[in-house]
Amino acid sequence: MTKAVQIKKTGGPEVLEFVSKDISEPKGEEVLIRHTVIGLNRYDSEHRKGTRTIKDLPSVLGMEAVGVVEKLGKNITGDLKVGDRVGYCTAPPGAYCEKRIIHLKYLIKIPDDISDEVAAAVLLKGMTAHYLVNHSYKIKPGAFVLVHGANGGLGQMICQWAKEKKGVVIGSVGHDEKIKVALQNGCTHAINYNDKNFTSKIMEITKNQGLGAVYDPIGYATSKISFESLGKFGIYVSYGQISGAAPINFSLLSSRSLFAAGTSIYHYKHDRFILLLTAMEIFEMLRKKLLTVRINKKYKFNEIIQAHHDMENRKVSGLNIIKIA
């Protein structure tokens, strides 16, 4: 038996419940993992609330985790062995548990010089930041890019990676006191998106050129100023809809020949070879201190419900993890 946290219906943190589940033997290319650290992400709360679709209920939540290999399916060959440290971030939800059986194709071996805590905090966010700055919009030196939610865990990763690509990074935050966090994480400029002069400040920074790209996890609340701030041929890249869907129409796009893209890690990192290459790049960025991981809060496994209350009430931001005792 293994302890897990599941939902039977969508809703607030009160729908989370601790349960005991049977765990079978791994088959074929499956692996049994004993989790050590679980990553805490906004995707978890979106699955819980139903704003992001989850296939079947009841369902165990959780997008990413790191742990130790305990058993291997009989068809697994290669260098993976019992005792290895592994992580994952593109598997179906199910990380909120002590142990889990998972297919080999999702697993990434964690190097000895990267801790479980750092790996669990950065795998999903690092993978997402990688495709956003390299593929959704390929940042070139001098390109003006706006990152909404620059103080958040993923926002911090995007800003740091965009800086490494030599873009001019403008961070957008919801409160003035969070401007400092944005500036500490690679932003050349930082602005409160509630500022009534937001667009004019963007145009001043870009010398009326406008932005090459906007990275937006917020959606409805920030979409208007985002499109107003884009230059000709600029792109609005959506990777979340925290405040609701962004209203987009072709008249808006044709006003400056703009583009809009909705993205998903499952499309960009579906191939195991690409997954492993990206992981290698993330680990090397960490070694060179081009990505700085500042873990904000460490919850215990029995505090997962409290963690969701904290996310719901915006009492927690940045990079956060759940430790298995």
Residue 296 gets which letter from DSSP? E
Gap between the Cα atoms of 222 and 244, Å rounded: 10
Q: What are phi and psi of 40, to 5 degrees?
A: -105, 125
* pLDDT tens profile 40-85: 998 899 899 988 888 889 999 999 999 999 999 999 988 899 999 9
* pLDDT tens profile 178-187: 999 999 999 9
> Amino acid identity of 242?
I
Peptide bond into 26 cis (omega under 30): no
- The series of mean pLDDT values per 10 residues for the chain, 325 residues long, is 95 96 94 98 90 88 97 92 97 96 97 97 96 96 96 94 96 93 94 96 97 94 95 95 86 94 91 94 95 94 96 88 92
Sheet holding 189-192, edge to edge: 189-192, 168-173, 144-148, 211-216, 230-238, 259-262
* pLDDT tens profile 287-322: 999 999 999 999 999 999 999 999 988 888 889 999
